Structure 1
Amino acid sequence: MVLPLGRKTRALLAILALSAPRPIMRPRLAELLWSRRLEEQARASLRQEIHRLLEALQPVGADVLRVTRDHLAIRSDLVWIDVNEVLNASVANPSALSMMTAELLEDFDDVDPALDQWLLTERARLRDHARGVAEVLLKQQTSPDGVIQSAQQLLGIDRAHEGGWRALIRAHAERGERGLAIQAFERCRVALAERLDAAPSQETQRLVTEVRSGTVAVPPQRPPAVFARPPIPEGERQSVTVGVRPLQLIGSNGSDAQLGMGLAEDIAAALSQFQWLSMVPSSSLTQFDRDATMLRRSFGVDFLLDGNIHQLGSRTRASVWLMDLRDENRIAWSQRFDWTSSDILTLQDDMVAEIAAQLGPEIQMAESRRVAQQGDEPRTAYDLVLRALPLTARLRRDEFNQAELLLNEALTLDPDYAPAHVSLAYHLNFRVGQGWASDVAKAVADAGRHASRAIALDPASARAFAVAGHVRAFMDKRPREALELHARALSLNPNLPMAWGFSAATYTYLGELDEAARRFARYKRLSPNDPNTFLFDAAMTLMELQRRDYDAAIQCGRRTCELNPNFVSGFRHYLCALGHAGLTEEATRMRSRLLALDPTTTVATAVWAVPLQHGDKDHYAAGLLLAGLPAD
């Protein structure tokens, strides 16, 4: 057996062996083994390791490793690779399953974060295949002896397979070995506690009660795999299940080993304040040794957040990624965060807030895309609301009307579904603002009614209070009364970007511009890529107008109209800034686009729509007149 001395050299050999006979490109190898180095440094290190590997492989022949300018490959026809034997195992030829006695390449953990992620996928691929073959073999057994042998093989692959434990308990009982059956139950209980942080299911406990009383049914049951927390059936969903894995500290000396777990628990707690997320305790996830597939099987985890933290003096960088476990562990979102702080508590607070604030809306958008791809499958109120959200935000008239139908259908299915009431109140706010309401007074009243109903149904929903505050400030034009609603939203979820954005807009309407600016800055810091950015950039335009900073107002206005070219209020505020700045040519173009969106817009209707509470309404009207908008 040839085994290179260096750990990185052995890791390089392992990557090539697991990928055989497929060649691996050099940049990919450099990325897997030196992800924290600059590209040129990584490539130079790769060249050194290739040289060392070639030297180590000389005793077995020069042709084993193929090296070209672009890629490397191992000739699988010249070598025997144990993993390939396991992956080729089948019900007809299961002998290779006996090799599943340890974690794949367990001594290569922490070589490099990128390699850790690659190993996670490879381990899941190997374990899933072996488990699947072993499950079929167990189901085929008809005698207690055969069940015991197959169950033990399955449990050697997956110690937390509760179906395997039940089969073993029942088989021992059927052979009259009540003591061994009870011992198997105790081992099952320990395995589930260690690996899943869970207790045996009621089905398993009932079986043991039967064993103790001697009433176990003689015909062997073919046990389905039952897990601690199975995935929720699609038709019963009202949330998604998320896990946050303890973040890995790069370059830590071990003195702050608990920091990764603490951050994970804090992020999970922050995410739990988003009503559409159901969290799995981070401590439970450590039982799986980075096995994403088992998390899905055992806890019903839909999305898994993972990442690492690199500290260098007062600078901290966190790289996090979100895996969709329902879609072959695809990375659905990733982000890098940078902070500079010497105060560890402030640093942790900022880190948790920003990650949670960005991740919450990202998961909701991912769910909306998933539901939209289901076509005309049976729809629940949860599905209907998710379908409606992006249709509302795009502000295209036909899609917007379709969104309203979906939200009303959701309330027909479930009149007490709070998220549907919140979304309909939010939707009606746009209908009035876009000039699409045939009866404005009724739309305003309906929005207030839905917002109040949502709060009554779910008084812990920060989103319900935030939307209710915006309805009160923008539609009812009573911003002072809205402040208490916004304060309540932020007390429920201080990391909800919408709550900061709407409260900043409310302070803008009141003319309290310093507080408005502070809250806008907090909103932008928390979620710079929030899908609702166009809405709050429009409110920032209005704030800069009141400051008489027309350059800043124009910048905000342009950004608003680029992000959503269908948003009428954004064009109104932008046009006002152009008028005051004397940019006649640009004002003419924007006026044409505004009137194409809403031909009924005049200075009078625009001034009525903007909920300013002081003399700046005259300033707003003057800017629109200077931009050439008809007076009435």
Structure 2
Amino acid sequence: MAEIRKIAAILAADVVGFSRLTNTDEDGTLARLRALRSEHLDPTVAAHHGREFKWTGDGFLAEFRSVSDAVCCALDIHAAMPDRNTSLPADRRIEFRIGIHLGEIIEEDDGDLMGDGVNIAARLESISAPNGICISAAAYDQVRNRLNHDVIDLGERDLKNIQRPVRAYLIGGVANHGSVVAERSIGSATGRSQAERPSLAVLPFQNFGGDHETDYFADGIVEDIITALSRTRWLFVIARNSSFIYKGRPVDARQVGHELGVRYLVEGSIRKAGQRVRISGQLIEAATGRHLWADRFDGDLADIFDLQDRITASVVVAIEPSVRLAEIERAQRKPTDNLDAYDLLLRALPAINAYTREGFAEAETLLRRAVALDPAYAEALAALAECLVRMTLNGWVANKSAATAEAADLAARAVTLDPANATILAIAAWAYSTVGVRFEQSLELADRALAIHPNSVHVRSFCGWVYNYFGESLKAIEQFEEARRLSPIDPKSYFPMLGLAVAHFFAGHFEETVAITGRILVEVPTHNVARRYRAAAFAHLGRLNEARAAIADLLQAQPSSSLRNSRSSVFRDQRMSDLYISGLEKAGLPE
């Protein structure tokens, strides 16, 4: 029998954190999975006219005759899991990620299926949120008018070993299915309308060389910048098809901003001389024509794809904080009696960056107001979680256990509301590992955040801290060094700097820790965490007079500091805790 080519809906499902589950309870996990398959998964797939064609131990692949059948099957799989997990502790529960794609597949003699249709479904599953369904645009077009679930547009996604980016959507929540969905954009997934979010269009770059080869290269740069900026969840980015209508036309910033409905424009040009190329870029406030950022990049076309990647990363890293700063300035100009939740978040950010007790207190007040106005505002919830953790670390909360519990809860709510937001995932991962809860989940969230937005300085920094707490010092150093390379001048530069100091501390590089914490305390004199690591590093170097001086400085800044409080710092590896506490003990921190 010859192979058969056909169009089918493919569903890929996988158990979330399977390695963690089997490490905790291998026999129990496998027994529950076998029972789950026979009692729930197999009957549910069959009830929706599906056929399982492959099991992988912790997941399965199934084909369906329609996307509707596949999506309804996925929703039913998720819907039954809370009841099945009720009697189990959180670290023993089985949950699924699911991906669905509609495409061409190849059926072999034995009934196995192959091809891009299968591969894309599997890759979509890998970027789905736990208990979520990640669906390709090809599949979504078939069901968009027949669901009553919130849908988050994830934009174009680069999937491993898939040649072209795939537009993906995340179907969230488990409810009865059958009526109409209210489709949500990226911004409204966090509780805000598109009009409230900063909006940006990347216009086609001008080709001053005139040749077609340079034209293709310039268009490729713009497409990559649009794709990369689309991963910045608080920013609404106009699609390529809309912005490219201005290709080859003289543009007026105010007119284009009005026509596209955006606040900001990215323009650029490209010049070529032999194998050398120069690209200039600028960020403009559309309403005023004011230039917010401009730079140029030179490179060699010998490795065109590497050059394209480097320029894209450089532009994205510059634009993201420039837009954020402009938005903060805009919010600060608004009357205080006319602030919405987004404005309150923007006003809180500089207060957090100041890293003072007064700044954090101000930020906490603003963020609690933002959350009260919009309880589903995921970014405000995550920012409040970050604020509470930082205050706890510095001894600036009245009740440490209450603050850490609230921070963990806020982070969890933020992830549930916006599971594809890399910054939120990274903040949650950092918060969990810092306060010593959900260690395994924190590592999983960090890995997902980096996969979604590797060009974010803040994502790199938060994830580096997670690796620190797991004892992966060299991996942490890599993240912090990349964060510093991406943004050498940043209002939160103390964060990756301290992470780097801590990573060097646990790698035994105490001289580096002393040098880096010294620079941090010049920049942020209120940083008590830096004081503690500096004192411990001095002690391990045998420089006890300097260690005692650092402890005296710490006690003056934070009189409540003690070995007892420091022992509450949680690390994955006992060796790390011993190294940290013994250093502080040698330095003379009182019990």
> Which category of TM-score, normalised to the shorter sequence, fits these structures?
0.5 to 0.7
Please state if 1:347 is matched with 2:347. Answer: no
The one-character-per-residue Cα deviations of 1:321-375 (angstroms, maximum 9, x if unpaired) are: 222223x322222344455673211221222123213321331122112211224
Q: Distance in 1 between the 2:354 and 2:201 partners?
A: 30
Q: Distance in 1 between the 2:536 and 2:301 partners?
A: 41
Q: Distance in 2 between the 1:323 and 1:391 partners?
A: 26
Q: Paired residue for 1:390, among 350, 356, 370?
A: 350
More strand by share: 2
Q: Paired residue for 1:500, among 460, 467, 473?
A: 460
Q: Paired residue for 1:303, among 264, 287, 292?
A: 264
Q: Paired residue for 1:550, among 499, 510, 535?
A: 510
Please state if 1:256 is matched with 2:214. Answer: yes
In structure 1, the residue matched to 2:590 is 631
Q: Distance in 2 between the 1:260 and 1:538 partners?
A: 38
Contact 1:510–1:614 (CA<8 Å) still a contact in 2?
Answer: no
Return the TM-score normalized by structure 2: 0.62
Q: Paired residue for 2:449, among 489, 493, 517?
A: 489
Partner-residue secondary structure (3-state), 1:436: coil
- 1:246 maps to amino acid: P
Q: Distance in 2 between the 1:354 and 1:600 partners?
A: 43
- Call closer, same or farther: CA 1:236–1:574 in 2, change over 3 Å: same
User: How many positions carry a matched residue from both structures?
Assistant: 397
Q: Distance in 2 between the 1:343 and 1:337 partners?
A: 15
In structure 1, the residue matched to 2:387 is 427
Q: Percent sequence identity over matched residues? A: 30
Q: Distance in 1 between the 2:523 and 2:279 partners?
A: 28
Q: Paired residue for 1:618, among 578, 583, 587?
A: 578
More helix by share: 1
Q: Paired residue for 1:463, among 412, 418, 423?
A: 423
In structure 1, the residue matched to 2:474 is 514
Instruction: Point out where structure 2 has 5 or more consecutive residues left out of the alignment.
Output: 1-191
Displacement, 1:250? Answer: 5.7
In structure 1, the residue matched to 2:9 is none
In structure 1, the residue matched to 2:329 is 369
The one-character-per-residue Cα deviations of 1:407-449 (angstroms, maximum 9, x if unpaired) are: 1111221111222111111111112111112111111111111
The one-character-per-residue Cα deviations of 1:136-194 (angstroms, maximum 9, x if unpaired) are: xxxxxxxxxxxxxxxxxxxxxxxxxxxxxxxxxxxxxxxxxxxxxxxxxxxxxxxxxxx
- Call closer, same or farther: CA 1:550–1:392 in 2, change over 3 Å: same
Q: Distance in 1 between the 2:579 and 2:503 partners?
A: 12
Partner-residue secondary structure (3-state), 1:609: coil
Please state if 1:242 is matched with 2:203. Answer: no
Q: Distance in 2 between the 1:538 and 1:340 partners?
A: 36
In structure 1, the residue matched to 2:562 is 602
- Call closer, same or farther: CA 1:521–1:629 in 2, change over 3 Å: same
Q: Distance in 2 between the 1:563 and 1:340 partners?
A: 37
Displacement, 1:513? Answer: 2.4
The one-character-per-residue Cα deviations of 1:375-416 (angstroms, maximum 9, x if unpaired) are: 424111111111111112212222321211111111221111
The one-character-per-residue Cα deviations of 1:112-149 (angstroms, maximum 9, x if unpaired) are: xxxxxxxxxxxxxxxxxxxxxxxxxxxxxxxxxxxxxx
In structure 2, the residue matched to 1:523 is 483
Displacement, 1:543? Answer: 1.0
Partner-residue secondary structure (3-state), 1:630: coil
Displacement, 1:548? Answer: 2.0
The one-character-per-residue Cα deviations of 1:36-62 (angstroms, maximum 9, x if unpaired) are: xxxxxxxxxxxxxxxxxxxxxxxxxxx
Displacement, 1:299? Answer: 1.9
Question: After alignment, is 497-506 or 428-437 more displaced?
Answer: 497-506
- Call closer, same or farther: CA 1:287–1:387 in 2, change over 3 Å: farther
In structure 2, the residue matched to 1:414 is 374
Displacement, 1:518? Answer: 2.6
Displacement, 1:578? Answer: 3.0
Partner-residue secondary structure (3-state), 1:410: helix
Q: Distance in 2 between the 1:607 and 1:434 partners?
A: 14
Instruction: Point out where structure 1 has 5 or more consecutive residues left out of the alignment.
Output: 1-233
Please state if 1:533 is matched with 2:512. Answer: no
The one-character-per-residue Cα deviations of 1:241-291 (angstroms, maximum 9, x if unpaired) are: 112222345657542212222211211221111111111233134375131
- Call closer, same or farther: CA 1:354–1:236 in 2, change over 3 Å: closer
Contact 2:203–2:266 (CA<8 Å) still a contact in 1?
Answer: yes
Q: Distance in 2 between the 1:312 and 1:254 partners?
A: 14
In structure 1, the residue matched to 2:31 is none
Cα RMSD after superposing both structures: 2.8
Partner-residue secondary structure (3-state), 1:322: strand
- 2:510 maps to amino acid: Y
- Call closer, same or farther: CA 1:563–1:342 in 2, change over 3 Å: farther
Q: Paired residue for 1:268, among 203, 226, 245?
A: 226
Partner-residue secondary structure (3-state), 2:231: coil
The one-character-per-residue Cα deviations of 1:283-322 (angstroms, maximum 9, x if unpaired) are: 1343751311211222232122223445667765544322
Q: Distance in 1 between the 2:565 and 2:271 partners?
A: 54
Indicate the structure whose relative CO is greater, using CA pairs within 8 Å and at least 6 residues apart.
2
Please state if 1:293 is matched with 2:237. Answer: no
Q: Distance in 1 between the 2:539 and 2:270 partners?
A: 48
Contact 2:381–2:413 (CA<8 Å) still a contact in 1?
Answer: yes
The one-character-per-residue Cα deviations of 1:183-232 (angstroms, maximum 9, x if unpaired) are: xxxxxxxxxxxxxxxxxxxxxxxxxxxxxxxxxxxxxxxxxxxxxxxxxx
In structure 1, the residue matched to 2:435 is 475
Displacement, 1:504? Answer: 1.7
- 1:430 maps to amino acid: R
Q: Distance in 2 between the 1:429 and 1:631 partners?
A: 24
- 2:201 maps to amino acid: G
Contact 1:603–1:629 (CA<8 Å) still a contact in 2?
Answer: no
In structure 2, the residue matched to 1:138 is none
Correspondence 1:53-452 to 2 at 5 A:
237-249=195-207, 253-281=211-239, 282-286=243-247, 289-309=250-270, 318-326=279-287, 328-337=288-297, 342-452=302-412
In structure 1, the residue matched to 2:5 is none
- Call closer, same or farther: CA 1:430–1:339 in 2, change over 3 Å: farther
Q: Distance in 1 between the 2:572 and 2:286 partners?
A: 47
Partner-residue secondary structure (3-state), 2:214: coil
Q: Distance in 1 between the 2:534 and 2:296 partners?
A: 32
Partner-residue secondary structure (3-state), 2:199: strand
In structure 2, the residue matched to 1:64 is none
- Call closer, same or farther: CA 1:619–1:602 in 2, change over 3 Å: same
- Call closer, same or farther: CA 1:472–1:332 in 2, change over 3 Å: same
Contact 2:480–2:499 (CA<8 Å) still a contact in 1?
Answer: no
Contact 1:462–1:488 (CA<8 Å) still a contact in 2?
Answer: yes
Partner-residue secondary structure (3-state), 1:342: helix
Question: After alignment, is 294-303 or 309-318 more displaced?
Answer: 309-318
In structure 2, the residue matched to 1:152 is none
Displacement, 1:551? Answer: 2.7
Displacement, 1:563? Answer: 3.3
- Call closer, same or farther: CA 1:452–1:477 in 2, change over 3 Å: closer
Q: Distance in 2 between the 1:361 and 1:572 partners?
A: 30
- Call closer, same or farther: CA 1:365–1:585 in 2, change over 3 Å: farther
Contact 1:535–1:570 (CA<8 Å) still a contact in 2?
Answer: no
Contact 1:307–1:321 (CA<8 Å) still a contact in 2?
Answer: yes
Contact 1:237–1:382 (CA<8 Å) still a contact in 2?
Answer: no
Contact 1:288–1:294 (CA<8 Å) still a contact in 2?
Answer: no
Contact 1:322–1:333 (CA<8 Å) still a contact in 2?
Answer: yes
Contact 1:272–1:279 (CA<8 Å) still a contact in 2?
Answer: yes
Contact 1:477–1:611 (CA<8 Å) still a contact in 2?
Answer: no
- Call closer, same or farther: CA 1:330–1:620 in 2, change over 3 Å: same
The one-character-per-residue Cα deviations of 1:93-130 (angstroms, maximum 9, x if unpaired) are: xxxxxxxxxxxxxxxxxxxxxxxxxxxxxxxxxxxxxx
- 2:529 maps to amino acid: S
Partner-residue secondary structure (3-state), 1:532: coil
Question: After alignment, is 521-530 or 433-442 more displaced?
Answer: 521-530
